[in-house]
A and B are shown apart, each in its own frame.
Chain A
């Protein structure tokens, strides 16, 4: 198996939340139900799945036809993830940008809605995003794929986070193929969104 960027349609992005702001994942359940009512984020929104009894993985999922949104607690680090299921058009970078736009749009909405509904509110510093390849055929985990993906993500990450100090590093979980892309200073979500829309 060899890496085929053109075929890599299944991948996930996660925007890390400020842990102090995250609160109990169960507070997100009514938020996601409301999103379905209001078609608040892109995609055909189907249902909410509650896995708050688990640790170290997706905790509350907003299941959509094209992709799943999730409050994700993998590695004990809360965040909002967006995992593509259906193919997107365009080059790999264009697909990354489209997925990032959907994720950041949802994160902004989550900040607003949790602030309104719970009084506190989750916040996203916007300076760290995680990419996970989720297709072991198109992107098998090996040195060649890692090299190619790292190169592509360095370019994309630089444009998204904007800055000379953007770092692309390995995931904590060595069984998955992916990278964290981060910069030192927080970046407002509006700014991030403007760079991928």
Chain B
């Protein structure tokens, strides 16, 4: 038995087909029949990501050493060895999880990963040290519980995030969950969202003031607002575009003060079309929407989007969710019951920081604080059981790398605390200085410079005792610390009160891990301001930096002065001077500990950095279609061997259609899936013009497609056999044609843009 057979009937057909196709593409890449760049972007679009040392080399502390993987010659992308373990990112829209999904995640972490589930800063779950060959079954098991990894990485619409308190928040304007859910479903796999130069991130927030949605740092951010027209209250979104962190952070710009809820999806589609059409494709460092908005100017960007919007044909999905969007779908599992005392040692401190009183009387949301966003498979499984027992399954991951249980009866809080504590999940201090966010950094990321997780672990260890004792000064308790392993800001250091990102400095011929200290960022107001780098400090002295800055703030702050206001008042020069003496590094012989990173005894080096896959590979729609056609040919041949002639015929015909469609997309990207339209366009654009013609065979191979399309299936063994061979030849001719087109000198406007105007 296989997982595919075992789960038959439990996996939605479309997800099952996608995973089958991916499995075939893995097989084709093994045979060298898919280009490594195309395969890399293909797997990234399924959330299968590279990991540190996957180039087959690692510095073991004595120097760079080869990792002789068995498949050394076989790659799964540029400089990425097949057998090297990688990361599987699992999209969790709005962070919303069910207990069944949590059980499955625990099982997968144990069987295919290292037994750890990691919550990311965008409400995803990541598993590390996963082998590529295991990913199709991993995906099938996720699909069987309603999770897809599609478009979790790569140049796609990434996970759609939203406030974890949506629907239970005391301050929200309305519950954004149904709108975020509809947006996620609408954009997933949408043809207009497949040809980006970089990723595209969407976030929803229920209010302006809090940070849960972090709208200001997203490509498309939406904040719930209402407007009264003719005495009727309407729901809409204050809509922002062009936000983003990374090396060059941009605050999102206000696109529309009130975008009616009915207009959210068509506007998102129009933005996607403009981004795909005009966004940078070659220079990936400038390919995010933020650069396009900056380049065009907000007004011109908006004009183009509205123009695109006006031309879009109606789609019933735009508004299908709106009528039912008034109330949260979640229902409390038990009647409300107010708190009635009780609670073991530690309960009061935990409740003070980890319990949020919901707007629904008698219920609370509990934050399960996860150190570094990690929990073991065993803990995940126990948490699923507690979710079933106490909240009926209302669970969400947060952008602060925690998990919340919603709809806990207040009377149940002491018992829940006791059960969480029994499995090591009862840590207090959620949302305090001790609740530190960290990207993977040098632990697993190919781009990591310094150990953001090592630093975060050290700080957590030092600060959590004070959090438990409630010993923080109230002025600093709610400050946020966020660490990134490099300037790319996956740890969101720009929006932290105290942000840190990894850099390196050369001291006496040695590389020394440092962190840039980033101050003045604003977590509230949806990530309302970005901090500025204030100076680099050796990694081992960052704990002192925090002590000193927070201590000075407590001593010097004016009445009710916020940390942001304080840093602004005293100025960057004074801030830098505050820790200038900590920037010194003792000589290597005097204290070699400065020359290695937190949690890693190896002497520090930048030699293990690799080529990041965050930006994905820019692969044209034509290349994608040709790769998919190859997978169908492969399946047609397999079916032929099995004497499944109808299936073999269908796969071979489908392969030819995909090949033809891929070529059409060099001129006309909106071609769609209709076979009649594909054949007609192919004939007009490539056959009648002789563009497709081979020097010797002329248009012979195109006739194979035309004949099958016009005459339909002939299901006798010989005919199917011939068709499969003809499809293979047709596909080869498509590749040859594409190569000729690519070699042609560019003239005037890019073909894709020209095609879109039609």
Interface residues of A (CB under 8 A from B): 1-2, 4, 10, 26, 29-30, 33, 36-37, 44, 46-58, 61, 63, 65, 68, 70, 74, 83, 85, 134-137, 173, 175
Q: Assess whether A137 is in contact with B68, with CB atoms less than 8 Å apart.
A: no
A47, closest chain B residue (CB): B53
Q: Mark B377-399, 1 if CB is under 8 A from A, else 0.
A: 11101000000000000000000
User: What separation, in Å, do the CA atoms of A181 and B131 have in the docked complex?
Assistant: 31
Give B17-76 interface residues, CB cut-off 8 Å to A.
Answer: 52-53, 58, 60-62, 67-70
Q: Which of B60, B83, B381 makes the CB contact (< 8 A) with A65?
A: B83
User: What separation, in Å, do the CA atoms of A1 and B83 have in the docked complex?
Assistant: 29
Residues of A within 8 A of B3 (CB): 137
Extra inter-chain contacts (17) besides given A53-B371, A53-B461, A54-B376, CB under 8 Å: A30-B601, A33-B61, A33-B601, A37-B61, A46-B53, A49-B128, A50-B454, A51-B376, A52-B457, A53-B374, A57-B116, A57-B379, A65-B83, A74-B376, A134-B110, A173-B378, A175-B381
Q: Assess whether B599 is in contact with A50, with CB atoms less than 8 Å apart.
A: yes
Residues of B within 8 A of A4 (CB): 1
Q: Assess whether B111 is in contact with A65, with CB atoms less than 8 Å apart.
A: no
Q: Which of B68, B128, B377 makes the CB contact (< 8 A) with A44?
A: B68
B424, closest chain A residue (CB): A55
Q: Which of A10, A58, A175 makes the CB contact (< 8 A) with B114?
A: A58
Q: Assess whether B52 is in contact with A47, with CB atoms less than 8 Å apart.
A: yes
Q: What are the 5 closest A-B residue pairs judged by CB atoms, nearest first?
A: A57-B376, A55-B424, A53-B371, A30-B601, A50-B599
Asked if B431 is an interface residue, CB under 8 A from chain A, the answer is: no
User: What separation, in Å, do the CA atoms of A47 and B58 have in the docked complex?
Assistant: 9
Asked if B423 is an interface residue, CB under 8 A from chain A, the answer is: yes
B2, closest chain A residue (CB): A137
Residues of A within 8 A of B131 (CB): 85
Residues of B within 8 A of A68 (CB): 114, 129
Residues of B within 8 A of A136 (CB): 107, 111
Give B198-257 interface residues, CB cut-off 8 Å to A.
Answer: none
User: What separation, in Å, do the CA atoms of A74 and B602 have in the docked complex?
Assistant: 28
User: What separation, in Å, do the CA atoms of A35 and B381 have in the docked complex?
Assistant: 32
Q: Assess whether B69 is in contact with A44, with CB atoms less than 8 Å apart.
A: yes
Residues of B within 8 A of A52 (CB): 457, 599
User: What separation, in Å, do the CA atoms of A65 and B84 have in the docked complex?
Assistant: 8
Contacts A36-B60, A37-B61, A137-B6 known; A57 to B52 CB distance under 8 Å? no
B139 to chain A, nearest CB (A): 15
User: What separation, in Å, do the CA atoms of A63 and B423 have in the docked complex?
Assistant: 25
User: What separation, in Å, do the CA atoms of A44 and B443 have in the docked complex?
Assistant: 18
Give the A-B contact count at a CB cut-off of 8 A. Answer: 105
Q: Which of B60, B68, B84, B378 makes the CB contact (< 8 A) with A56?
A: B378
Residues of B within 8 A of A74 (CB): 376, 378
Residues of B within 8 A of A49 (CB): 114, 116, 128-129, 443
Q: Assess whether B111 is in contact with A134, with CB atoms less than 8 Å apart.
A: yes
Q: Assess whether A56 is in contact with B423, with CB atoms less than 8 Å apart.
A: yes
Asked if B167 is an interface residue, CB under 8 A from chain A, the answer is: no
A135 to chain B, nearest CB (A): 6
Q: Assess whether A37 is in contact with B377, with CB atoms less than 8 Å apart.
A: no
Asked if B470 is an interface residue, CB under 8 A from chain A, the answer is: no
Asked if B372 is an interface residue, CB under 8 A from chain A, the answer is: yes
User: What separation, in Å, do the CA atoms of A33 and B423 have in the docked complex?
Assistant: 29
A57 to chain B, nearest CB (A): 3
Residues of B within 8 A of A85 (CB): 131
Residues of A within 8 A of B424 (CB): 54-56
User: What separation, in Å, do the CA atoms of A48 and B372 have in the docked complex?
Assistant: 17
Q: Assess whether B111 is in contact with A135, with CB atoms less than 8 Å apart.
A: yes
Contacts A50-B443, A50-B454, A134-B110 known; A63 to B62 CB distance under 8 Å? no
Contacts A52-B457, A54-B374, A137-B6 known; A33 to B60 CB distance under 8 Å? yes
Residues of B within 8 A of A50 (CB): 443, 453-454, 457, 599-600
Q: Assess whether B378 is in contact with A57, with CB atoms less than 8 Å apart.
A: yes
Residues of B within 8 A of A137 (CB): 1-3, 6
B130, closest chain A residue (CB): A85
Give B427-459 interface residues, CB cut-off 8 Å to A.
Answer: 443, 453-454, 457
User: What separation, in Å, do the CA atoms of A30 and B596 have in the docked complex?
Assistant: 12
User: What separation, in Å, do the CA atoms of A10 and B378 have in the docked complex?
Assistant: 17
User: What separation, in Å, do the CA atoms of A55 and B378 have in the docked complex?
Assistant: 10
Scoring B2, B128, B377 by chain A CB atoms within 10 A of each residue's CB, the highest score goes to B377
Asked if B85 is an interface residue, CB under 8 A from chain A, the answer is: yes
Scoring A37, A44, A57, A70 by chain B CB atoms within 10 A of each residue's CB, the highest score goes to A57
A146 to chain B, nearest CB (A): 17
User: What separation, in Å, do the CA atoms of A63 and B83 have in the docked complex?
Assistant: 13
User: What separation, in Å, do the CA atoms of A51 and B424 have in the docked complex?
Assistant: 13
Q: Assess whether B107 is in contact with A58, with CB atoms less than 8 Å apart.
A: no
B590 to chain A, nearest CB (A): 21
Give B72-88 interface residues, CB cut-off 8 Å to A.
Answer: 83-85
User: What separation, in Å, do the CA atoms of A137 and B112 have in the docked complex?
Assistant: 13
Asked if B146 is an interface residue, CB under 8 A from chain A, the answer is: no
A55, closest chain B residue (CB): B424
Asked if B115 is an interface residue, CB under 8 A from chain A, the answer is: yes
Residues of B within 8 A of A10 (CB): 111
B499 to chain A, nearest CB (A): 20
Q: Which of A30, A37, A44, A58 makes the CB contact (< 8 A) with B376?
A: A58
B460, closest chain A residue (CB): A53
Residues of A within 8 A of B602 (CB): 33
Contacts A53-B371, A56-B379 known; A46 to B85 CB distance under 8 Å? yes
User: What separation, in Å, do the CA atoms of A164 and B2 have in the docked complex?
Assistant: 39
Asked if B271 is an interface residue, CB under 8 A from chain A, the answer is: no
Asked if B413 is an interface residue, CB under 8 A from chain A, the answer is: no
User: What separation, in Å, do the CA atoms of A54 and B375 have in the docked complex?
Assistant: 7
Residues of A within 8 A of B601 (CB): 29-30, 33
Scoring B129, B375, B379 by chain A CB atoms within 10 A of each residue's CB, the highest score goes to B129
User: What separation, in Å, do the CA atoms of A175 and B376 have in the docked complex?
Assistant: 14
B388 to chain A, nearest CB (A): 13
Residues of A within 8 A of B67 (CB): 44, 46
User: What separation, in Å, do the CA atoms of A180 and B701 have in the docked complex?
Assistant: 65
Of the A-B pairs whose beta carbons lie under 8 Å apart in the complex, a sample of 8, sorted by A's number, is A2-B1, A4-B1, A36-B58, A44-B69, A47-B53, A47-B58, A56-B376, A63-B85
B255 to chain A, nearest CB (A): 41
Contacts A30-B601, A74-B378 known; A65 to B69 CB distance under 8 Å? yes
User: What separation, in Å, do the CA atoms of A125 and B471 have in the docked complex?
Assistant: 43
